[in-house]
Amino acid sequence: MKTTYRPLVQRAYNLGGVIKSLLLIALIVGLMTTTSARAAGGSISKSAYGKTADGIAVDEYTMTNANKIEVKIITYGGTVTSLKVPDRNGNWASIVLGFDKLSDYETMSPYFGAIIGRYGNRIAKGKFTLDGKEYTLAVNNGKNTLHGGKKGFDKQVWDAKPIEGFGSEALELSRISKDGEEGYPGNLTVKVVYTLTDKNELKIDYTATTDKDTVINLTHHSYFNMAGNGSGSIDNQILMINADKYVPIDDGGIPTGDMTPVDGTPFDFRSAKQIGPAVRSSDPQIINGRGIDHSFVLNRTDDKSLQMAARLYDPASGRTMDIWATEPGLEVYTGNFLDGTLHGSSGGMYRQGEAICLEPQHFPDSPNQPKFPSTTLKPGDTYTTSTVFKFTTN
Ligand code: GLA
């Protein structure tokens, strides 16, 4: 059953009497107060997507803006399952990898399109100490914890509600991550708002509060291919990253603790360049990551405002995505572990290097890295961070 929150800009037809027309107008106004409608041509609609293995209902929301950009989001993991933008010739394609059914997202997703937390990226050996107390997390990635553990935020069903906006459609997702969930301290109240604007931006605003000292590092994990989902390698796509330094890792993806200049390395994307040659370098760090799977230290003038982080461009189609972030770091992952075993929404199998993740966030293993910006959240403080993906064609 599809509930459509569409602009109800309709004439009140004469139904044989002024009273009936007035009643009809009253009905339309009433409906508009329960739907997130606006005159400018955007819309948000909801449909049932499926039920999890535990029997929890999952809904899918479809947002379109006045320029017909479309994003689909399911309440399982707050996952973006489709993001359709045009190329320079007006051909539309989704630029994110994903699946066609919920059970695939539940059983085999490498975090396609999901909200990641409580702590995105890795924590060494699944342990950290906070206020003198050691916490032990699930070890789900080699010897380390990745992306919030065995059942992180990407595997939770979120509450959702559409939000009316002028010049935008928005979906508010919320949940409470209970004290001790996946080993983290504190009842964490989290809200994530996806906003699709008529300026062709997909904005993600995160807020959270806690009743105990805890650690938090939320991010979004779409796999982007600007030529279109399932179109093959991103080798020829052009990437710019606004970062003079990056964070070297060991062979398990844990930072060495350094922040190393990109100068003279394959990690120098300060001038836009093709992705392919960089991920084929024999640089030991590329070997450690089996491509790029590293955090970049973004050049920032302050630690709060939205600043330019990266640009991804496909010369063949002209599709371009700019990323603005408030975070200090950008995790870049060039789909190194896609191995032809995942049958995607493209109708085909996904292979290594078919997409790139660009995840604004704090740095990996920060709770164990005193030199890195803190990821501790205390009662009374509010965690806030924002990311904007802006779409154009060139
Ligand atoms: C993050 C990690 C990668 C990989 C992906 C998911 O990007 O840094 O190593 O685990 O998640 O597959």
- Residues 284-310 pLDDT 10s: 999 999 999 999 999 999 989 999 999
Q: Which residues contact 18 (CB under 8 A, 6 or more apart)?
A: none
Least confident window among 34-48, 49-63, 129-143, 368-382? 34-48
CA distances (Å), origin 371, targets 22, 131, 292, 367: 66, 17, 23, 10
For the chain, the distance separating the N- and C-terminal CA atoms, rounded to the nearest angstrom, is 39
CA 116 / ligand 1 centre spacing (Å): 11
**Which atom of ligand 1 is nearest the CA belonging to 359?**
7
Alpha carbons 140 and 65: distance in angstroms, whole number: 39
Alpha carbons 350 and 220: distance in angstroms, whole number: 20
pLDDT on residue 10: 47
Q: Determine whether the shortest distance from the Cβ of 183 to ligand 1 is under 6 A.
A: no
Burial class (CB within 10 angstroms; exposed 0-12, middle 13-18, buried 19+) of 215: buried
pLDDT on residue 13: 46
CA-based nearest residue to 236, from 290, 330, 312, 346: 312
- What residue type is 362 in one-letter code? H
Of 37 and 384, the structure prediction assigns the larger pLDDT to 384
Global confidence as pTM: 0.90
- Residues 266-286 pLDDT 10s: 999 999 999 999 999 999 999
- Residues 161-206 pLDDT 10s: 998 777 789 999 999 999 999 999 999 999 999 999 999 999 999 9
Mutate to test the pocket of ligand 1, among 337, 338, 358 (most ligand atoms within 8 A of CB): 337
Mutate to test the pocket of ligand 1, among 119, 147, 334 (most ligand atoms within 8 A of CB): 147
% of the chain residues with pLDDT over 90:
88
- Residues 199-229 pLDDT 10s: 999 999 999 999 999 999 999 999 999 999 9
Nearest residue by C-alpha to atom 8 in ligand 1? 293
**Which atom of ligand 1 is nearest the CA belonging to 364?**
8
pLDDT on residue 18: 57
Q: Determine whether the shortest distance from the Cβ of 357 to ligand 1 is under 6 A.
A: yes
Q: Determine whether the shortest distance from the Cβ of 293 to ligand 1 is under 6 A.
A: yes
pLDDT on residue 178: 98
Q: Determine whether the shortest distance from the Cβ of 92 to ligand 1 is under 6 A.
A: no
CA 333 / ligand 1 centre spacing (Å): 7
Mean pLDDT of 249-273: 97
- Residues 65-118 pLDDT 10s: 999 999 999 999 999 999 999 999 999 999 999 999 999 999 999 999 999 999
Of 87 and 21, the structure prediction assigns the larger pLDDT to 87
Under the phi-then-psi rule, with left for phi > 0, alpha for psi from -120 to 50, and beta for the rest, what region is 34? alpha
Asked if residue 32 has pLDDT above 80, the reply is no
Task: Reply yes or no on whether 359 is catalytic.
Answer: yes
Q: Determine whether the shortest distance from the Cβ of 113 to ligand 1 is under 6 A.
A: no
pLDDT on residue 24: 59
Mean pLDDT of 154-167: 90
Split at pLDDT 50, 70, 90, the class of 39 is very low
Radius of gyration of the chain (CA): 22
Q: Determine whether the shortest distance from the Cβ of 252 to ligand 1 is under 6 A.
A: no
How many CA atoms lie within 13 Å of 327's alpha carbon, on the beta-carbon side?
A: 32
Split at pLDDT 50, 70, 90, the class of 12 is very low
Residue 35 · residue 8 · CB < 8 Å:
yes
Residue 193 · residue 156 · CB < 8 Å:
no
Three-state helix/strand/coil letters over the chain: CEEEECCCCCCCCCCCCHHHHHHHHHHHHHHHHHCCCCCCCCEEEEEEEEECCCCCEEEEEEEECCCCCEEEEECECCEEEEEEEECCCCCEEECECCCCCHHHHHHHCCCCCCEECCECCEEHHHEEEECCEEEECCCCECCEEECCCCCCHHHCECEEEEECCCCEEEEEEEEEECCCHHHCCCCEEEEEEEEEECCCEEEEEEEEEECCCEECECEECCEECCCCCCCCCCCCCEEEECEEEEECECCCCCECCCCEECCCCCCCCCCCEEHHHHHCCCCHHHHHHCCCEEEEEECCCCCCCCEEEEEEECCCCCEEEEEEECCCEEEEECCCCCCCCEECCCCCEECCCCCEEEEEECCCCHHHCCCCCCCEECCCCCEEEEEEEEEEEC
